[in-house]
Structures are given as structure tokens and as C-alpha cells.
Chains A and B, each alone.
Chain A
Amino acid sequence: MNARARARRLVWLRRGVQAASLALFVTLLLAARPPAAGEPSGWLGLYFRIDPLVLIGNWLGGHPLAGLALLALATVVLTVLLGRVFCGWLCPLGALHNALSWLGARRPARRRATDGFSRWQRAKYWLLAALLVMALGGAHWGGVFDPQSLLYRSLVTGLLPALQWAVEASSMGIYQADPHLGPLHLTALSEPLYRFWRDRVFAGQELVFAGGALILFVFVGLLLLNLLRPRFWCRYLCPLGALLGACAGRTALRLVPTGQCGNCQRCLLSCPAAAQPEKPGQWLPEECFGCWNCVASCGEDALDFRWQPLWRRPVAARVDLGRRALVGAGLAGLGALLLFKLPPMARAKTFNPELIRPPGALAEPDFLARCVQCGLCMKACPTGALQPAFDQAGLAGLWTPVLIPRLGYCEHGCALCGQVCPTGAIAPLALTEKQALRIGLATLDTTRCLPYAYGRECIVCEEHCPVPTKAIYFVETEVQLRGGERRVLKQPRVDAALCTGCGICETKCPFADRAAIRVTSANESRHPANQPLLPGALPLGGGNSLGADPYGG
């Protein structure tokens, strides 16, 4: 079998692996939901664990990761040996870009002129340099650009909710219109289909994400760039690709000339990476995805991948990163770092009341140094409470998880977010440990609360409070109504020593616009400076024997 035939087989194998990897990625994403029993699977964060950019970003931030994350080192070893096969074969975002590049392919004549190596491909190395400098200073923005995070976040907060809406809206339309032909109802078909999607695919609450549109916009924009150049993101922007490229310079599997090149440039047209396969001896190992397209496209058998010892100098060109540009990029990273550290909040001078972090989240600086904005916690959260932050945590905390109690609450019997977090930004806690933590404190707005402001009964917040001894309790108060009539009403109060800040009171408050009881980040366990209460404060009246309880004793 000649090189070309073998390469063609390898290309098909690669496409299969890419499709499987993307399918695995999506499967793991859909599986990130409350498990029927026990703790969630450790496989959910697989793609973040094999991602060296996540590893190095966390390591530079001063947080050596758990043993499993060392899988990322396997990716590095793989790259040193075989080049950027991760990009070409395994990366699910790469697979998606690959498919879209194929869809968006233009006429060869134009591509011949534009698709060769561009010096702008160095931009990804500069971006990487800037991100690493930032990570060193504790401002971790790697996750904003990391391809695994980017894809996961975009699917969770953008694509999946859009899909869910489409499924729900269409089946709802059929359900309400109930079109039928005699005994044949269309709902007999649409309803089981709808329930399959609801219970098997989405398997949870209605997904709604504040700011999901922006994330989707960025994602779609990056996909559309494939129309400009094949795998635009991978070529020019991806910092993980740059990191792997930096490891691939002396790869053992090298593209070498094996015959007389006819200069037909088919390899150039087939190369998604613009790694200069068309220039014998000037192949760029840092850029090459190891996709084998060039070998498969060559009619002359003029090139092939061959094993060469790692220590032998490659007979190939190198990407000249440009020393000044690299230094400039590092300085830009430093600048961004300073920008992130300027606001008072970044120095714990102020605390944003709206910045309610998931239970187990590390103190803010440590949290920001670890979180890779992947959105796994947001997918796993059973109530949809965790949302991608826009400005709540400052620029540094873009798309990190923040709990918005109007959208969902922290379920008392759930500790999933920490258990699935791939980097430990949210500590993995047992349920009892998590239940002992406070993420905020409820505040009553007596100018809105029905029994205070409007003379009506309402016990919804107290009823929903999940703390067994009730962090919300009643004080029976006689109030005078409009006509002079007197009435005893149960007015809720919050026991700050018991309130965990879960936010269910705010979620369920009958006021749909602005709740009459609201949770802020005050009293959060992770920040002693944000706690108004004397540490170790006891519940009022001592727990169970509280108040005028008709069934006491």
C-alpha cells in the first residue's frame, strides 16, 4: 500500500475519531445532571482534565491540581511525540471547526492565494503569553479562551437552552392547537417525542442563562470565521493550540519529502492548519495538526510522515514568534492583570451583594485563580441557579458561576456543583459539609412583604426555608387594617445564625418582579470580612424550642 492510500485510510479514521470525540464531549455534557443516587461520575470533567492549558493556568496561579489533572501531562507527552494530534484528532471544538470549514470551503483558485501560512498565526502564541502572565498574577482568563471551556460553556448556556426552547415551543404549539384527523392526533407523536427530549436529553429544569446570548454570539462568530479561513480559531487564536504547538517543535512524527513535488499545491488546499506542507523542507511542526490530509491529497507520493528520533534536529522551518511581539504580549497580559486588580472589589475593599458564589467556592482571589469558566457547575445545578457572571465579579470574573436567586436556588439536598468542578474552584464537599456552609444571607424588604406592608397572610418564604429548624420564623403581630379592624399576622423574620443564603425564599416569593425577601452575599462562609455576625453566633431562642409552637413538647 502506498503512502497516499494509507493516508486516506488514516484521514477517515481521523474523521471517525473526531466525531466520536465530539459525541463523547456532548454525552458527558448531557450527563452532567443530578445522579439518581450517590455522587456524580468523575468522568464528567474529562476534557478539562486532559487540557494542559487548564493545568498550567492553575499551576501558575499557585494551585497544584489533583492527581487526575495530570492526565493533561499525557496530552503534552502525546504532543511531544506526535505533534498537535490533539488539535487534529481529539479536540471537540476542533472537530466542529473542521466540519464547518468543510461546509464553508471556497473555490481552490482563491484559496491558493490566501490559505498559505500567515504571520498572523503567531497571534495565538502572543495570546497564550499574555494569558500565562495573567495567570501568574492570579487573574485567570485562560478559561475564556480555552477551547474545551469555550465549547462547554457555549453549549450549556447558549445552544442547549436554544434547542430546549425550540423543542418546548414547537411541541407546546402542537399540544395547544391539537391538530387531528379523526382519531389520529398529532400529539400522539409529538408528546412522546417531547417527553424524550425533556426527560432524557435536557433532564432538568428549563435552562435559562442570563448573558447566554452573548456567549452564543461569540461562539457563532468564531464558527463563522471558518468561512474566512479554514479552522480560523485553531490557526490564529486558540491558546491551547499555541501551548501544544510550543511542545511540538521537535515531534518524532515528521512530514518529510519522499519524492519529486509537482507543485500542484493540493496539499496546501487540503491543509487546515496552513503548516506549509507545500514547501518541501519548510513544513511547520508547531502548526501541523497531524491530520494526514496533505499525504492523502498528494498525487506524486512526494511527502509522508516518518518517525525520526526526537533528538534529531528537524529538517523543517520554525515559526518565528518575534521576540519583541512576545515581550509586547507579555506586557499586555501584565496590563490586563493590573486592570483586573484595580477595582476595590478585587482587593476585598468592597463586596458585591449580588456576587453569591456556589457553596464551597474558594475565597474570591483563589476562586478566580482556579475557575476556568467552563460552565459544568451551571449544567449540573438542578435548579438553574448558577449563571455565567457578566459584571458581578468584575472583568476578571467574566462567565464565572454566580447564583441568581430569582432564577433558581441552592438546593439544600445537593452538593453537585463542587463535586463536578474540574479544577476545585468549588471545593468538592459531602452533603453534610455543604449544608453547614453559608453562601449569603436573606434580607426582608418590609416595604413589600405582604404581612408587613399590605396586611395580608403569606408564609411562602418560611414554608420553603429548607433549614430543618427554620432560618425564617414568625413573629405574630397585631396590625390595624384600613377600616380600623385589627388582625394578628405572622410576620417573617430571618435568623441570621441559621440562614445559609440558599435563596429559595427569594426564588419563591410571590412577588415576581423584585422579591420581598432577597439574598445578598453577606455572611458568606468563605469571606470573614463579609460577615456582619460575630463568628459562631447561636440561633435565636435556640433552635427547636422556638416561638409559640402549637405542637411543642
Chain B
Amino acid sequence: MSPCSRREFLKGLAAGSALALRPLPLLAADEAPRALAIARWQGEALGEANMAAAAGRLTERAMAALGGMGRFVGKGDRIWIKPNIGWNRSPAQAATTHPDVVGMLVRLSLEAGAKSVRVGDHPCQEPRQTYATSGIAAAVAAAGGEMVTLDPARCRRVALGGARLKEWEVFPEILEADLVINVPVLKHHGLSRTTACMKNYMGVVGGNRSAWHQELAACLVDITAFMKPRLCVMDATRVLLRHGPQGGSLEDVAVKGVVAAGADTIALDALGAELLGLVPAEQETVRAGAAAGLGSMDYRALAGAEIAVS
């Protein structure tokens, strides 16, 4: 450590305590809230040691660039956070949303005045195991949220009013929330090639949802339209390049250091496709979503400059 004078020390202390006492002015006063925020890690290389902190920080900055959580969460709102907790895999294996992304969103929601923040998914494997292994249960508990195990038997058959799906079983707990925050992890998928925002909505439905794969794009368009997305936070801190959506091998994982947030699922999914090295217009789900008027593939027009986070 280099020696520093008393003056420098005191200055540093003052700055430090100011930092500690007051949240950083994340959004400059003259900066307008964006429709889509892409936060990209520019700090030192991400590894096991700093991934958790970076995931939280990226999320915080992306939300700030959207104008803060207060734009989405009203006082006394009941929030449902829907991460991807589909598989019994650890955070490093990149098959589930990073726990610190979820934890940060719980914290921000509560700070914005939410009455309750509940977190849950309808996993492909046993929820008690996926919730624990993914690290999300611990992160949510630490942030003051509530993990909820969903009961497929309690699904309610509701009118989706879609072009393909007229009705389907949906979890009432999720429908009853004032705001559903869709928090997918970006990864490879064997059929749709990528999975992010649209595909993550498969976790709000029960029934024989595996049959959706037969006409995946049409079904995803219908559920996305039905859910009327207001806030999606896409975790691309580390992504699964192969053997998705379940993965399991660290060899298939690449670090991207990106968290993007916004309401436009199509734009976010297009961004996701590009992050995985694909052309968004070649993605059947993205194309179908754009054609159905769910959003715009041109994420750049919405997002503007990326937010560098370190």
C-alpha cells in the first residue's frame, strides 16, 4: 500500500462515508430514463471471486438506467419475481438465473415500497432441490423476499386469448401479483436455439406444457402477450453456449458480464441472440414475437449506449 498523507486519508474517508451513507447517483440528473438498459461489465475479468458482486452491481445499474425500480413498483405492491430456476444446477453452471441478480431485484423492490416480494418458478426438476442448488433460495432469503413453491395442482385454467392457445393452466399466485418481474438467464436451447425472456414465461404455466415444444414460437407469443411484460431483467452474466437449457459442464459456459433490462421482450431476446453469436432475425421465436407486435428486434434503437459497469 502506498503511503498517503493525513489530508488524503481524511478526504478518502469523507468520500467513503458519503458513499456508504448515500446511494450513488446512478442516473445523472439530466439523463432521461431509457426504455432498455444494457449494463456491461468493464472491470477486471470476471471469475468465481467477483461474479456475485458484479451480477448484483450490473442489475442495480441497469435498473437505475431504466429510471429506478420506483418506476415499476408502487407503494404496497405485491411483486412476483420469476427467475429461471428450472434445473438442479449450480450458479456457475449457468442453467439458472444468477442468485445475485434475483437478490438485488428483491432488495430494490422492497426499497421501492413493495409490500411483499415473492419469488418462484415451476421447475422441470424437483423445486426444493433446484431452489437450493441454484443459490436463489439463499439470496432471496438474505434480501428479505419469500421463496414460494408452486403447486401444479392449483393451476387455474384461464383464457389466454392467443392465436394458438385459447386457454391454459396458469399459476394463480403469479396472476394475482401487481407486477411480475421476468428474470431469465440467457442460454442455448436445443429447439429454439436461445432461451431468454419469452421462453422464461413457460414457468408461469402448468398443464402439459411440454407439448408446447411442438409449436414453440406460436405458444411463446401467446403466453408473452398474455403476461403483458412490464419489466424483464435478462441475466447474461455468464451464458450456456451448448447443451442447453440444462448444461452441467463448465466447459459449455462463457462469461459475458451483461445484464439487460426493459419491458420489450423481443428486443431483449434479440440482444440475447446476438450475445450468443446468432442473428436475431433467424430466431423463430423472436421473429414470431416481432410479427405479432410484441416488440421490436432493433434493440439498439431502444437502448442507446451501453452502460459500462466496473
CB distance from B160 to the nearest CB of A (A): 19
When chains A and B are docked, how far (Å) is the Cα of A456 from the Cα of B241? Answer: 25
Indicate if A391 sits at the interface (CB-CB under 8 A): no
Indicate if B191 sits at the interface (CB-CB under 8 A): yes
When chains A and B are docked, how far (Å) is the Cα of A414 from the Cα of B248? Answer: 14
Query: B213 and A382: CB pair below 8 A?
Result: no
A204 surroundings in chain B (CB, below 8 A): 126, 128
Query: B124 and A508: CB pair below 8 A?
Result: yes
Indicate if A331 sits at the interface (CB-CB under 8 A): no
Partner pick for A459 among B88, B191, B215, B252, CB 8 A cutoff? B191
Residue in A closest to B243 when the chains form the complex, CB atoms: A470
- Proximity string of chain B (235-273) to chain A, C-beta cutoff 8 Å, 1 when within and 0 when not: 000000111011111011000000000000000000000
Query: A468 and B190: CB pair below 8 A?
Result: no
Indicate if B52 sits at the interface (CB-CB under 8 A): no
Segment of A294-302, A336-344, A543-551 in the binding face: A543-551
A552 surroundings in chain B (CB, below 8 A): 242
Known contacts A175-B154, A382-B126, A457-B214: does B248 contact A467 (CB below 8 Å)? yes
Partner pick for A549 among B153, B154, B242, B278, CB 8 A cutoff? B242
B88 surroundings in chain A (CB, below 8 A): 411-413, 466
A458 surroundings in chain B (CB, below 8 A): 210, 213-214
Indicate if B276 sits at the interface (CB-CB under 8 A): yes
Residue in A closest to B126 when the chains form the complex, CB atoms: A382
A412 surroundings in chain B (CB, below 8 A): 88, 248
Interface residues of A in 349-407 (CB under 8 A from B): 382-383
When chains A and B are docked, how far (Å) is the Cα of A382 from the Cα of B246? Answer: 19
Most buried by A among B124, B126, B128, B129: B126
Residue in B closest to A551 when the chains form the complex, CB atoms: B241
Residue in A closest to B215 when the chains form the complex, CB atoms: A457
CB distance from B26 to the nearest CB of A (A): 34
When chains A and B are docked, how far (Å) is the Cα of A470 from the Cα of B242? Answer: 10
A222 surroundings in chain B (CB, below 8 A): none
Query: B249 and A469: CB pair below 8 A?
Result: yes
Main secondary structure of the interface of A (DSSP, over half): loop
Indicate if A485 sits at the interface (CB-CB under 8 A): no
CB distance from B286 to the nearest CB of A (A): 15
Main secondary structure of the interface of B (DSSP, over half): loop
B1 surroundings in chain A (CB, below 8 A): none
B210 surroundings in chain A (CB, below 8 A): 458, 460, 508, 510
Query: A544 and B132: CB pair below 8 A?
Result: no
Indicate if B50 sits at the interface (CB-CB under 8 A): no
When chains A and B are docked, how far (Å) is the Cα of A523 from the Cα of B231? Answer: 48
Query: A469 and B243: CB pair below 8 A?
Result: yes
When chains A and B are docked, how far (Å) is the Cα of A137 from the Cα of B172? Answer: 58
Known contacts A203-B128, A456-B214, A457-B213: does B208 contact A490 (CB below 8 Å)? no
When chains A and B are docked, how far (Å) is the Cα of A175 from the Cα of B172? Answer: 11
Indicate if A463 sits at the interface (CB-CB under 8 A): yes
Residue in B closest to A463 when the chains form the complex, CB atoms: B190
CB distance from B215 to the nearest CB of A (A): 7
Residue in A closest to B133 when the chains form the complex, CB atoms: A413
When chains A and B are docked, how far (Å) is the Cα of A456 from the Cα of B211? Answer: 10
Indicate if B149 sits at the interface (CB-CB under 8 A): yes
- Proximity string of chain B (94-127) to chain A, C-beta cutoff 8 Å, 1 when within and 0 when not: 0000000000000000000000000000001110
B61 surroundings in chain A (CB, below 8 A): none
CB distance from B269 to the nearest CB of A (A): 16
Partner pick for A172 among B124, B153, B189, CB 8 A cutoff? B153
Known contacts A411-B126, A550-B193: does B208 contact A36 (CB below 8 Å)? no
Partner pick for B213 among A414, A460, A474, A551, CB 8 A cutoff? A460
Partner pick for B191 among A175, A382, A457, A469, CB 8 A cutoff? A457
CB distance from A249 to the nearest CB of B (A): 50
When chains A and B are docked, how far (Å) is the Cα of A457 from the Cα of B218? Answer: 13
Indicate if B277 sits at the interface (CB-CB under 8 A): yes
- Proximity string of chain B (206-228) to chain A, C-beta cutoff 8 Å, 1 when within and 0 when not: 00101101111000000000000
When chains A and B are docked, how far (Å) is the Cα of A467 from the Cα of B246? Answer: 9
Indicate if B188 sits at the interface (CB-CB under 8 A): yes
Interface residues of A in 189-232 (CB under 8 A from B): 198-199, 203-205
Residue in A closest to B172 when the chains form the complex, CB atoms: A175
Indicate if A524 sits at the interface (CB-CB under 8 A): no
CB distance from B195 to the nearest CB of A (A): 10
What are 27 A-to-B residue pairs whose CB atoms are below 8 Å?
A: A34-B128, A34-B129, A37-B132, A168-B153, A172-B154, A175-B154, A383-B126, A411-B126, A412-B88, A412-B248, A413-B89, A413-B133, A457-B213, A457-B214, A459-B191, A460-B213, A462-B190, A463-B124, A463-B189, A463-B190, A463-B246, A465-B246, A474-B190, A490-B191, A508-B210, A544-B249, A549-B242
Chain A residues at the B interface, C-beta cutoff of 8 Å: 34, 36-37, 168, 172, 175, 198-199, 203-205, 382-383, 411-414, 450, 456-460, 462-470, 474, 490, 504, 508, 510, 512, 544, 549-552
Interchain residue pairs A-B with the least CB separation, the first 6: A468-B248, A468-B249, A551-B241, A459-B191, A460-B210, A456-B214
Q: Other than the known A203-B128, A459-B191, A552-B242, what 14 A-B pairs have Cβ atoms closer than 8 Å?
A: A34-B128, A168-B153, A172-B154, A204-B128, A382-B129, A411-B126, A412-B248, A413-B88, A413-B133, A462-B190, A463-B213, A474-B190, A504-B125, A549-B242
